[in-house]
Chain A
């Protein structure tokens, strides 16, 4: 039986850009799929196809058991969409926004009102309920946007880069919301370019690049594909590098590598934390003083680079995983670029 979100061979081109080039997806009910990829990889296009906003050139999609192409309006009753740019009317108050969306989900006046009260409360917007959304902070707008997507508690949710541009605190809050939603049985497709986010939230991950799924699996499976764990240590003095190498070689599965200027020695290992304790004891026995030692597992960054040959984000951001204003600007620029391209077709 296909999952709550199912897609087969989705193709969508804008001019000569193949935004989707044969994408298959299958998200079992009650799970989270993280759609991971750099800007322009096709993530947003995939979401737009699945939420009935655009028709694919080829392929088939089923959401909540309903054919997206044949029964778009029924699909719209069963989904919630929370976009990258908080789509709320900034001149309406939080309450007015939610009531409007409720009415447009075809709720009765009373239901729409009651539901707004409830959502405002739950999303900690009750105090700001009667202020225009214009006066909200970025985090509050995102929460309002998400609340709007939840007006009818849709069984299937789509979130397109829900935390892009948010500060770490707001991001953390949104993650908690998402985790609660999923605990409540919602099926979620989440796009992100933050590897950390997919790692944290998603049961399954699809890595997508140039409109194609280039890898899928759990976070652990993907990491395992990139290779195992390693011990990284920093010795206190440069003179200790050579003796440290001697010690560590005995534990390693492969040849250790040295970074002279940071006094860092790295060696691939297997054996986990227990091994780490032994390494420390042995270094101690040899009188080698260390500043830092850690057991490192590959991050999704490593996975992404090994899969695509390029980083998930621009070089200066690799590994940081921290969304900053620069990211948002970059994204805006890329988005406009895509829009232009779409407009030309």
Chain B
């Protein structure tokens, strides 16, 4: 073998570096890597779709008709009500993907390699969360089609509906930063997957996602109304025009101003968890 550094043509010269430009560039390089991975492991994307589709079908046909929304148990009303909840739950499941991916990178020594390279500090995590965002967007498209098939419609026009999807994606992006922190904190991808999921169940169920919160005990109702997750569900419902007629909007501030509440919550989550995750990354080693 002839491989000595000395026999290679020349020492390539790095381009200009530093600052925000490098940050963006490095993040995109890592995002691209993660998107290639997703393409090569399509099972992950497919399985990521099965659960929400199952939820759409099961909730629509099993619970629809027994859950009263806006004083009516008309199953078609519940189906419309439900969709924003399932969309929101689906985007938060991106947490588990980000966590497992980053834990896997740690486990395999890739984080060590990245950390020994002269790259922007946050780029490995930003790249991962951006790739997850793309995956979440694809999942939402498929899910929306399934939802239309079972009878879901938007009633306030496409621009407002797109606004609703934008808020959902932002929530998903915020949650993938929580996943990133979990992935850096546990030792195995398996732990990151379960650690990324278990707390999502109470979070998404103690909310207005599947049933109106007004029938819950007071404590749970208060939690549900202030739950960051509920704000996005409520906002999406409003923007899709899916609030059933006569549905009483709770008096809590986030429920009265769900779009703002959703934006604020997502931005705050990103700010906090991005900070914590990047800090953790700087000292992370396999």
Tell which of B3, B22, B25 touches A180, judged by Cβ atoms closer than 8 Å.
Answer: B3
Task: Indicate if A51 sits at the interface (CB-CB under 8 A).
Answer: yes
Task: Indicate if B114 sits at the interface (CB-CB under 8 A).
Answer: yes
Q: Map CB proximity to B onto A43-77 as digits: 1 under 8 Å, 0 otherwise.
A: 00000100111110000000000000000011011
Task: Indicate if B112 sits at the interface (CB-CB under 8 A).
Answer: yes
Tell which of A77, A173, A180 touches B14, judged by Cβ atoms closer than 8 Å.
Answer: A77
Task: Indicate if B17 sits at the interface (CB-CB under 8 A).
Answer: yes
- B14 close to A106 (CB less than 8 A): yes
Tell which of B8, B36, B113, B123 touches A122, judged by Cβ atoms closer than 8 Å.
Answer: B8
Given A96-B36, A124-B1, A177-B3, residue A81 in contact with residue B15 (CB < 8 A): no
- B115 close to A105 (CB less than 8 A): no
Please report the C-alpha to C-alpha distance between residue A204 and residue B2 in the assembled complex, in whole angstroms.
24
- A52 close to B29 (CB less than 8 A): no
- B4 close to A184 (CB less than 8 A): yes
- B3 close to A152 (CB less than 8 A): no
- B4 close to A180 (CB less than 8 A): yes
Please report the C-alpha to C-alpha distance between residue A77 and residue B113 in the assembled complex, in whole angstroms.
13
- A81 close to B112 (CB less than 8 A): yes
- B29 close to A91 (CB less than 8 A): no
Given A101-B117, A106-B22, residue A96 in contact with residue B33 (CB < 8 A): yes
| Band of interface residues on B | 35 or more
Task: Indicate if A89 sits at the interface (CB-CB under 8 A).
Answer: yes
Task: Indicate if A337 sits at the interface (CB-CB under 8 A).
Answer: no
Please report the C-alpha to C-alpha distance between residue A343 and residue B187 in the assembled complex, in whole angstroms.
9
Q: Smallest CB–CB gap between A82 and chain B, Å?
A: 9
Q: How many residues of A contact B (CB 8 A)?
A: 59
Residues of A within 8 A of B30 (CB): 100, 104
Tell which of A92, A111, A147, A183 touches B4, judged by Cβ atoms closer than 8 Å.
Answer: A183
Please report the C-alpha to C-alpha distance between residue A89 and residue B108 in the assembled complex, in whole angstroms.
9
Task: Indicate if A108 sits at the interface (CB-CB under 8 A).
Answer: yes
Residues of A within 8 A of B32 (CB): 100
Tell which of B1, B17, B33 touches A100, judged by Cβ atoms closer than 8 Å.
Answer: B33
Given A89-B37, A91-B37, A184-B4, residue A51 in contact with residue B116 (CB < 8 A): yes
- B14 close to A107 (CB less than 8 A): yes
Q: Smallest CB–CB gap between B279 and chain A, Å?
A: 14
Please report the C-alpha to C-alpha distance between residue A104 and residue B113 in the assembled complex, in whole angstroms.
11
- B118 close to A53 (CB less than 8 A): no
Q: Smallest CB–CB gap between A58 and chain B, Å?
A: 17
Task: Indicate if A153 sits at the interface (CB-CB under 8 A).
Answer: yes
- A118 close to B8 (CB less than 8 A): yes
Task: Indicate if A339 sits at the interface (CB-CB under 8 A).
Answer: yes
Q: Map CB proximity to B onto A87-120 as digits: 1 under 8 Å, 0 otherwise.
A: 1111110001000111111111001101100110
- B36 close to A92 (CB less than 8 A): yes
Task: Indicate if B202 sits at the interface (CB-CB under 8 A).
Answer: no
- B33 close to A106 (CB less than 8 A): no
Task: Indicate if B26 sits at the interface (CB-CB under 8 A).
Answer: yes
Q: Smallest CB–CB gap between B191 and chain A, Å?
A: 11
Residues of B within 8 A of A124 (CB): 1
Given A53-B285, A83-B113, residue A91 in contact with residue B1 (CB < 8 A): no
- B109 close to A106 (CB less than 8 A): no
Residues of B within 8 A of A107 (CB): 12-15
- B41 close to A91 (CB less than 8 A): yes
Residues of B within 8 A of A227 (CB): none
Tell which of A88, A132, A153, A339 touches B8, judged by Cβ atoms closer than 8 Å.
Answer: A153
- B40 close to A132 (CB less than 8 A): yes
Q: Map CB proximity to A onto B104-141 as digits: 1 under 8 Å, 0 otherwise.
A: 00001110111111110001000000000000000000
Please report the C-alpha to C-alpha distance between residue A211 and residue B251 in the assembled complex, in whole angstroms.
63
- B109 close to A185 (CB less than 8 A): no
Given A81-B113, A183-B6, residue A104 in contact with residue B26 (CB < 8 A): yes
Q: Map CB proximity to A onto B5-45 as digits: 1 under 8 Å, 0 otherwise.
A: 11111011111010000100110011011001100110000
Residues of B within 8 A of A343 (CB): 187
From B2, B5, B22, name the one whose CB has the most chain A CB atoms within 10 angstroms: B5
- A87 close to B33 (CB less than 8 A): no
Residues of A within 8 A of B286 (CB): 85, 339
- Please give me the 10 A-B residue pairs with the lowest Cβ-Cβ distance, nearest first: A184-B6, A180-B4, A87-B109, A76-B118, A106-B14, A184-B4, A87-B113, A153-B5, A81-B116, A122-B3
Apart from A88-B110, A173-B1: 7 A-B pairs, beta carbons within 8 A: A85-B108, A89-B33, A104-B26, A104-B114, A106-B17, A181-B3, A181-B6
Q: List 26 A-B contacts (CB under 8 A).
A: A54-B285, A55-B283, A83-B109, A87-B109, A87-B110, A87-B113, A88-B110, A89-B33, A91-B36, A92-B36, A92-B37, A96-B33, A100-B30, A100-B32, A104-B123, A106-B14, A106-B17, A108-B15, A111-B13, A115-B12, A118-B9, A119-B8, A152-B14, A153-B12, A177-B3, A181-B5
